[in-house]
Amino acid sequence: MDKKETQFTSTELQTLAELIFPNWQKLPSLEELDKRYPKRELPFGAIVNRVAPSPTGMMHIGGLYVALVNRRLAKQTQGVFFLRIEDTDQERAVVGAYETIVNSLADYGLSPDEGPMHNSDGEIVEEGNYGPYVQTSRKEIYHACAFDMLKRGAIYPCFMTKEELDKQREEQQKLEVRTGVYKEWALGRYLSFQEIESKIKAGIPYVLRLRALGEIDKTISWEDEIRGTLTVPENIVDTVLIKSDGIPTYHFAHLVDDHFMRTTHIIRADEWISSVPLHLQLFSAMGWEPPFYTHVSAIQKMAETGKRKLSKRHDPEASVSYYWENGFPRQAVIEYLLNLANSEFEDWRRVNPTSDYTEFRISLGKMGQAGPLADLIKLESISRDILSRMPIEALYKVSYAWAFTYDKELAEEMAKDPLYSQRALDIERDSEKGAKRLSTLKDLRPQLAPFFDHFLPPANELPFPDNVKAEDRKAILELVKERFKDSDPPEQFFENLKLISAELGFAGAVKDFKKNPQMYKGHVGDVASIVRVAMFGSTRSPDLGQVLKVLGNQTVVNRCNRAISVN
């Protein structure tokens, strides 16, 4: 093609811009926007960053991961972390997804400083002076910037239809040249003023494209804090910035929003690396200082076919909701993600077992270029540690909150006497063995249920061992009933049991029984088993003395009676 691109006079550009934005007089000027969204006054080195999810469905664990990294960096530098909802792709918008984003961040203690968040009544409201924070409410701001770019000829209307674009792509493929709208393939660049004017007046749909000034043989570099200096070819593609319905594309919205929201650092998923040349070009087209761009590698999963990104479609653990549903306390998920971000976190935690995780300083430079590997076993061990370390009141709170949704029956029992539930949960928590019992909140049911009569098996189904006769069983339980006092220290219980054993013809020590088995009906362990089954409905339990102490006098008597009634 030897055609020349159309050169417009400034009057022509102004006329076209006014034609495209007939309400141009109502649009704010860039100066006004600058005043409305002034540079933020923050301490030197403060980072202003954000998460900018699209409300297209569930919240991805990768989204939470990026939010955590951003939030920590903003907090560490006394900066600002905000939430922006990128809903310009209305076709992909899913009802309820906006709430899911806001709620997920809140649930994980990652609510933003600005943007949509809960107020004290739990309603979602927008806070902050740089809003609105939902892109579809920012149309006027995008149009103001597009109007400015049109007047300068930095963007232009393109009327190419889908069919034309498809045909052109085929031709490019045949010619084995790069596909897309650029240089001589960007037909809109060659339309005359009159052609454009009449098409617009005739109501022919069009998009607004960037007049890309890049050259394919030139490169552009930037410093990515995780990846170091990245150098790639300049952008030459006349990317769509405003769609035919007047809504901006992600690229344009990102430019306008991150400029006027005064973002200093874009820390986002690595899928956007290839957009940086375009984004830098956009900032330069506006004469604005670009933010720093850093790209976080996606969390990987070891699958049969090797490492791959966690997939929304195939991996339930890709969804944030998976973790709570499966009983992982939120704090465990946060610490797990911190571990994925900076492996030093684990050592730090070991040295500082009781510090709040926010005291750990996260660093972009220490994040790996290779995506971290999801490791649910690791998460489980973090979860176990956290559950065993938690003050008992907090453990009760998180347990009840979980059971309230996922084990209603248990939650109902727990709520009847929270202190009783706390004492039950606390048994042996300080020992290694005891701590292991609660890896996730899914283990609550087996731990707690035996403390509530409601869950005990029917008396005639109690799994008493066969090696103790019914009459002995009854005699044991009669004596337990008579002698147990919940005011005694738990160790006393075993002493009592030894005496009861001796009185009823059982050996008080296993080794005595082993020496002369014919002299005894059994040993203290057999006696303990009877008590265990009667009290706990099971042949396994935590330390019996402690169990009985928590059950208390009345319940011990009731459970003894209940078991005695069985023949």
Q: Which residues bind ligand GLU (CB under 6 A)?
A: 52-54, 86, 250, 254, 266, 268-269, 272
Using left for φ > 0, alpha for ψ between -120 and 50, and beta otherwise, residue 344 falls in alpha
Smallest distance from ligand GLU to CB 92, Å: 10
Beta bridge mates, 534: none
SS3 390: coil
Smallest distance from ligand GLU to CB 404, Å: 31
**The tokens of 393 are what?**
């009141």
Smallest distance from ligand GLU to CB 74, Å: 14
Residue whose structure tokens are 């149309």: 139
Three-point CA angle 497, 498, 503, nearest 5°: 95
Residue (250 or 288) nearer to ligand GLU, CB: 250
CA separation for the pair 306, 317 (Å, rounded): 17
Instruction: Please confirm whether the linkage preceding 277 is cis (ω < 30° from 0).
Output: no
Residue (13 or 362) nearer to ligand GLU, CB: 362
* Closest to 522 (Cα-Cα) out of 534, 509, 532, 535: 509
**The tokens of 396 are what?**
């009760």
Residue (135 or 421) nearer to ligand GLU, CB: 135
- Residue by residue, DSSP assigns 506-531 as -BSSHHHHHH-GGG-S-BHHHHHHHH
Identify whether the C-beta of residue 116 lies closer than 8 Å to the C-beta of residue 126.
yes
Smallest distance from ligand GLU to CB 145, Å: 17
Determine how many CB atoms are found less than 10 A away from the CB of residue 47: 22
Smallest distance from ligand GLU to CB 53, Å: 5
CA separation for the pair 101, 53 (Å, rounded): 8
Residue (86 or 407) nearer to ligand GLU, CB: 86
**The tokens of 417 are what?**
């006497």
Residue (56 or 538) nearer to ligand GLU, CB: 56
* Closest to 6 (Cα-Cα) out of 216, 271, 184, 269: 184
CA separation for the pair 244, 544 (Å, rounded): 73
Smallest distance from ligand GLU to CB 194, Å: 39
Residue (62 or 157) nearer to ligand GLU, CB: 62
**The tokens of 190 are what?**
């060659």
Residue (53 or 132) nearer to ligand GLU, CB: 53
Smallest distance from ligand GLU to CB 367, Å: 16
Q: List the alpha helices (DSSP H) in 111-222.
A: 139-151, 162-175, 193-201
- Number of residue whose CB is nearest ligand GLU: 268
Smallest distance from ligand GLU to CB 387, Å: 33
Residue (112 or 537) nearer to ligand GLU, CB: 112
Residue (53 or 329) nearer to ligand GLU, CB: 53
Helix H or strand E encompassing 554: helix 544-564
* Closest to 333 (Cα-Cα) out of 378, 275, 400, 281: 378
Smallest distance from ligand GLU to CB 197, Å: 35
Residue (254 or 423) nearer to ligand GLU, CB: 254
Smallest distance from ligand GLU to CB 269, Å: 6
Q: Is the dihedral of CA 463, 467, 473, 479 positive or negative?
A: negative
Smallest distance from ligand GLU to CB 312, Å: 12
Residue (60 or 189) nearer to ligand GLU, CB: 60
**The tokens of 341 are what?**
């971000």
* Closest to 50 (Cα-Cα) out of 274, 262, 223: 262
Residue (52 or 544) nearer to ligand GLU, CB: 52
* Closest to 426 (Cα-Cα) out of 389, 385, 380: 389
Three-point CA angle 151, 154, 159, nearest 5°: 90
